[in-house]
Amino acid sequence: MKTTILYSVISAALIGLFVWLISKALHFSFQEWAFFIGLGITTVLLFFNSSGGLHTRWTNFGYSITHGRQQEEDWKIDVGVLFYGSLIFTTASLVLMVIAYWSYF
């Protein structure tokens, strides 16, 4: 459990470093875009680490039409430390974005 938390924090820091380096190279504001990039990374990792979703249902539908039997598979999520790290990064960037823009609310 401690290693999972440690590796999640390390992966969050690496994602933050990666986004910061890209923001410097492409000349956009890290503070404004970090949450949205983190949300995108988290969403992509969630859908690529799951099974039984929409794509599986489409495939099973095609299989059931050609073979005459239907297969059901529940939606399962198998996430790891990279997903948890991206979730930590997204949450931290959301908190920092709310603090930065609190005067506009």
Q: What is the pLDDT of residue 37?
A: 94
Number of domains observed in the structure of the chain: 1
* Structural domain of 66: 2-104
Residue 76 has pLDDT above 60, yes or no: yes
Contact criterion met (CB below 8 Å) for 73 and 51: yes
- Whose tokens are 């401690």? That residue is 2
The predicted model gives 19-43 an average pLDDT of 92
Residue 51 phi/psi, 5-degree rounding, is -140, 155
Q: How many CA atoms lie within 13 A of 24 on its CB side?
A: 5
Is 97 or 77 the better-scoring residue by pLDDT?
A: 97
Beta strands (DSSP E) in 11-105 are: 50-51, 76-77
State the pLDDT at residue 25: 93
CB atoms within 10 A of CB 97: 16
Short-list 72, 70, 75, CA closest to 53 = 75
- Separation of alpha carbons 17 and 2, rounded Å: 23
Sorting pLDDT into bands at 50, 70 and 90, what band is 96? very high
- pTM score of the predicted model: 0.75
Q: What is the pLDDT of residues 35-72, one digit of tens each?
A: 999 999 999 888 777 665 556 666 666 656 666 666 66
